[in-house]
Structure 1
Amino acid sequence: MAYQGTPQMTTTSAQIVQEKTDVQGQPRQWKFGLCDCFSDCGLCLITWFVPCVTYGQTKSKLNNDNSCFGNGCLYTCSLYLGVNWIVGGMTRGDIRARHNIEGSCLGDYCTHCWCYPCALIQEHREIHEA
């Protein structure tokens, strides 16, 4: 009895491109609306009175590190200097890029400039409930 070879499984470049397209797909919307901040009253209260806590938790979870306190301090300093919209906008851009969410750089900065508590809550919920 002679050895019978089995057909080899081959992958074409078209199949690889198709798989990458299926994984990445089109950019999606945020899971939670910007004005949906009152759905979680506890998070809403924390963010309105101590936004540095929400920012620190979100940034720590986003980076998978234990830098919650350091990030909170960074946000507090930026808040007092009036540049929190820059720090928040950069983080929002990171979240959008990692989770393939629609939006623009200008939109990120404007959202944090005009309503940073709502933006922080939306980002926190997106990262923690993903």
Structure 2
Amino acid sequence: MNLTIKTPEFITDLMKLWLLQYKETQQDNITQLGIFHWEFLPNRRNPDKPRRIPRIDFFEVLKEETFKRNIYFLEIDDKTLHVFESSGLDLAGLNVAHKYDWDGKQFYNAPKKIWSMIR
């Protein structure tokens, strides 16, 4: 199993392992790879739980398409990875973020999404 796409320099080994496990057959469809961070904003409805918004730090465009399939990573530590996926057209699509844990052999997805938005 090898990556069929040329990955940017900022993609770590953990991120490459995730791409091999979850996007092995869809590698040619990826339009952007990048890095993001979480921005926490006040929540008026529930002040104890701030709103979490993904903010993209930088990315590299792999190819230009009308239908986008963008993947952004946040490496928490050497065994935890947050993955933010954005797919669809420019003004219509789905954004979702999941948490993945690495056990040394494969990734395990948390049963609940960290964040989701339809645009």
Normalised TM-score (structure 1): 0.22
Q: Which structure ranks higher in relative contact order (CA pairs < 8 Å, sequence separation ≥ 6)?
A: 1
> Which protein shows a greater Rg?
1
Normalised TM-score (structure 2): 0.23
